[in-house]
């Protein structure tokens, strides 16, 4: 159990809304769909109404500093079935990278892989009291693109299972290129935090608002007990089908 999962949830009933591609950039084709994640007719590019409003504010802050730059959405809403699929997929990928057979793993090997996977991935819990952040519509994975729609280099790809993913990994480096990575991460963090988001402690790309992680991080930062307002939510079948609202 992760620390933020102890936070109480007072569901506010806010709807999920599509993220407009007229404002934001997207990673396409979607990376999890490419590896077979079971979205069905549901779209990953949805957020709670209040989160989408704040995301728009964050982009406005970004463009005040860098005209023409945009936030690029890697992933947002994630059904719990997709969370389970991606945890299993990542577990298998890590095992294979270590030359290990899934059928012959020792208990200690299995625990070591799970520890690494769950350092970055949330547990695909179906307990209403402990929903994965992305299943709430309050979490988003994203990066930056410049005025030419080229991805800004952050020094490590989204979802990399290594210390390079930590937001401040490059802060002490003396190398100019590493310093640029840190500056880009700081820019992303500053515009997101200015709009009310909180950042995942282990991931430079993950930001949240209104979910349990956001409430826990807000509590840690302010000392004021905070309650989450978003629990797990399901998109109705047929809603959010890709292509219905995106060009």
pLDDT score of 235:
73
Query: What pLDDT is recorded for position 50?
Result: 98
Tell how far CA 84 is from the center of its chain.
Answer: 15
Residue 205 CA to residue 50 CA, distance in Å, equals: 20
Tell me the C-alpha distance between 103 and 209, whole Å.
40
> In this structure, what are the phi and psi dihedrals at residue 17, rounded to the nearest 5 degrees?
-130, 150
Give CA–CA dist 143/151, Å, rounded: 8
Overall residue count recorded for the chain in this entry: 247
Q: Which of 203, 225, 234, 244 is catalytic?
A: 203
CATH code for the structural domain at 3-222: 3.30.1380.10
Closest-CA residue to 18 (of 90, 77, 96, 79)? 77
Span between the terminal Cα atoms of the chain, in Å = 40
User: Active site includes 111?
Assistant: no
pLDDT of 51 reads 98
Q: What is the pLDDT along the chain (247 residues), one digit of tens a residue?
A: 899 999 999 999 999 999 999 999 999 899 999 999 999 988 999 999 999 999 999 999 999 999 999 999 999 999 999 999 999 999 999 999 999 999 999 999 999 999 999 999 999 999 999 999 999 999 999 999 999 999 999 999 999 999 999 999 999 999 999 999 999 999 999 999 999 999 999 999 999 999 999 999 999 999 999 999 999 998 765 555 433 322 2
């Amino acid at each position: 159990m992760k620390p933020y999962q102890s936070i109480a949830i007072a569901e506010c009933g806010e709807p999920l809304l599509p993220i407009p591609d007229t404002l934001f950039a997207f990673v396409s084709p979607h990376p999890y769909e490419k590896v077979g994640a079971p979205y069905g007719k549901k779209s990953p590019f949805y957020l709670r109404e209040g989160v989408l409003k704040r995301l728009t504010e964050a982009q406005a802050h970004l463009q005040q500093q860098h005209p023409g730059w945009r936030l690029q959405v890697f992933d947002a809403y994630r059904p719990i079935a997709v969370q389970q699929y991606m945890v299993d997929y990542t577990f298998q990928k890590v095992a294979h990278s270590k030359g290990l057979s899934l059928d012959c793993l020792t208990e200690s090997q299995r625990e070591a892989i799970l520890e690494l996977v769950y350092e970055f991935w949330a547990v695909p819990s179906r307990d209403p009291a402990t929903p994965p952040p992305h299943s709430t519509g309050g979490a988003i994975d994203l990066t930056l693109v410049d005025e030419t729609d080229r991805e800004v280099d952050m020094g490590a790809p989204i979802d990399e299972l290594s210390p390079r993913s930590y937001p401040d990994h490059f802060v002490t480096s003396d190398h100019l290129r590493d310093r640029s990575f840190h500056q880009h991460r700081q820019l992303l963090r500053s515009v997101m935090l200015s709009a009310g988001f909180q950042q995942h402690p282990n991931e430079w790309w993950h930001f949240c608002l209104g979910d349990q992680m956001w409430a826990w991080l807000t509590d840690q930062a302010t000392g004021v007990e905070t309650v989450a307002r978003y629990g797990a939510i399901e998109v109705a079948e047929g809603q959010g089908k890709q292509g219905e609202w995106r060009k």
